[in-house]
Amino acid sequence: MTDAPLETLDPTLSHTRGESEPALIEQTIGDNFDDTVRRFGDREALVDVAQGRRWTYAELRADVDRLARALLAVGVKTGDRVGIWAPNCSEWTLVQFATAKMGAVLVNINPSYRSHELQYVLGQAGISTLISAESFKTSNYRQMVDEVRDEVDGLERVIYIGTSDWDELLARADEVSESELSGIQAGLKNTDPINIQYTSGTTGFPKGATLSHRNILNNGYFVGELCDYTEADRVCIPVPFYHCFGMVMGNLACTTHGACMVIPAPGFDPAVTLQATQDEKVTSLYGVPTMFIAEWNLPNFADYDLSTVRTGIMAGSPCPAELMKKLIASGIEEMTICYGMTETSPVSTQNRTDDTFDQKVGTVGRVGPHLEIKIADPVTGETLPRGKAGEFMTKGYSVMLGYWEQPDKTAEAIEDGWMHTGDIGVMHDDGYVEITGRIKDMVIRGGENVYPREIEEFLYTHPDILDAQVIGVPDAKYGEELCAWIRMKEGAAPLTAESLREFCTGQLAHYKIPRYVEIVEEFPMTVTGKIRKVEMREVTAERLGLL
């Protein structure tokens, strides 16, 4: 793809626009999928390793269309909300494309939700049809649905994957002709809402980010373009479909390029992921940093053949430099880093495959095609000079339609087309952006602004530290003090606050050295692999008696 900028902007300001080529896709997801099938019908499209099933693009379209006709037959109409509550599986992918083809709005439900959260989402989105797994891990979905079903107005049907419900649904497909489905598909617009994803807020109930065909189809396409995808690529997707990382950066990046989607397992397992990567000759591997850390630290890691992997995407959290060194040593030299949020479909910036090591570990890349980004003063909204920290904001085709039936929340988040991310960023002279944390994660210690990311990067250089997260906790004297949560490498002796201080002294300014150390086995995380620093602060403050 070309690298020509859309126009020249003031190079002293933190404001850039992405390339204008290739052009935006102005199709619906269904039409674009059909085009891919026409071009690559005989190529492998989907592999569900756990189920031992695989589809060519032609076979996948046949099953997608059958499911779309079945949904129409049972009364689902264009614009209706269809919820899906399940871990990663081939049925999830079928539902994603079937709803897109007949214009139902797919509502992604977090697999870790419990009955209270389920009830809220079913009601708030107005879900009429729920497609659900029966269970996953410790979650009994059927039991939770039974608990809330009578409390939710408008829920007409629940269909459980892998049961007679699913078979009975598919059996009704013949009641609707292929021409009827084609007519409905032809009447859809690419600006129609097609997906609702609930963002996990730190307070109150989650908000439903409402995304159009145009939003997510283009984001998946350009993410794939920047990974240099072709129909020869095979993408291993261990990240959840319920989130944009799985269903957009994974599935839609593949289908817009004729590449193959590989589902290694319903949930993340490092050994199973690497086995699938080897067996399926994967060329692109996805994950959040904690996933890659778990994979590369398997005792038998060297036994896996990853020679086919050339690229991939790491997102959700910044990539530690030590981890990137391991990936490169394994031959994965074209790994890209993505940054974004659900409300922006999700990716706003991405590294290019040939970026330097420092650009990949020190930044989250630069602005994507047809997008615009800036770093602004969070109080005044003024665009800041390059090199100054402020709020990262983004504008363009990727910005959501709004929060479902919450115009007040939408107005707070989007201003003149600009999406407020709530993240602190710094734009370098070359246009690459460094994310230094959430505005709410920034620690103010004795008047000094401290960005945890800088300290975490330094802690990764300790020979015995596997992973580290830094948070601020209440302090009577300084307002906030620093606490490091640390996961030790196997066999290493636990660090103390004193030994960590000794390691940091002379390397970090005194006010950046953590006062407290918590040695843990794991970090609290969302199902998408994002670290829950809010929960870490609460636990630490309570444990240390700082409340």
Distance between CA atoms of residues 513 and 301, nearest Å = 34
Both 454 and 391 in a single domain? Answer: no
242 in a structural domain: yes
| Domain shared by 356 and 472, yes or no | no
Helix %, strand %, coil % of the chain (to 5): 35, 25, 40
Within a domain: 415: yes
| CATH number of the domain to which 390 belongs | 3.40.50.12780
Structurally, the chain folds into a number of domains equal to 2
Strands 157-160 and 135-136: unpaired
DSSP H or E run through 347: strand 347-350
318 lies in the same domain as 379: yes
Question: Domain ends where: 427, 454, 483?
Answer: 427
Whether 109 and 59 map to the same domain: the answer is yes
14 in a domain, yes or no? no
410 lies in some domain: yes
Same domain for 391 and 279 = yes
Q: How many CB atoms lie within 10 A of CB 179?
A: 8
**2 occurs within a structural domain:** no
Residues 484 and 363 in one domain: no
Residue 70 lies in a domain: yes
State both tokens at 282.
């994967």
Same domain, residue pair 247 and 162 = yes
Q: Which residue do the tokens 């569900």 mark?
A: 48
- Whether 369 and 472 share a structural domain: no
End-to-end CA, the chain: 53
pTM of the model: 0.86
| Strands 53-56 vs 127-132: parallel, antiparallel or unpaired | unpaired
Statement to judge: residues 371 and 503 lie in one domain: no
- Among 370, 395, 427, residue at a domain's last position: 427
Same domain, yes or no: 353 and 489: no
Sheet holding 366-367, edge to edge: 53-56, 44-48, 260-263, 234-236, 284-287, 311-314, 334-340, 347-350, 366-367
443-445/448-450 β-pairing: antiparallel
Tokens representing residue 247 in the block: 């269903």
Compute the chain's Rg from CA coordinates: 23
Q: What is the pLDDT along the chain (547 residues), one digit of tens a residue?
A: 444 444 568 999 999 999 999 999 999 999 999 999 999 999 999 999 999 999 999 999 999 999 999 999 999 999 999 999 999 999 999 999 999 999 999 999 989 888 988 999 999 999 999 999 999 998 999 999 999 999 999 999 999 999 999 999 999 999 999 999 999 999 999 999 999 999 865 446 789 999 999 999 999 999 999 999 999 999 999 999 999 999 999 999 999 999 999 999 999 999 999 999 999 999 999 998 989 999 999 999 999 999 999 999 999 877 889 999 999 999 999 999 999 999 999 999 999 999 999 999 999 999 999 999 999 998 789 999 999 999 999 999 999 999 999 999 999 999 999 999 999 999 999 999 999 877 878 788 887 778 788 899 899 999 999 999 999 999 888 889 999 999 999 999 999 999 999 999 988 888 899 999 999 999 998 766 778 898 999 999 999 998 7
Write the burial class of residue 237 (CB in 10 Å: 0-12 exposed, 13-18 middle, 19+ buried): buried
434: in domain: no
Domain encompassing residue 384: 21-427
Structural domain contains residue 390: yes
Same domain, 171 and 260: yes
**Residue where one domain finishes, among candidates 404, 427, 450:** 427
Does 454 share its domain with 394? no
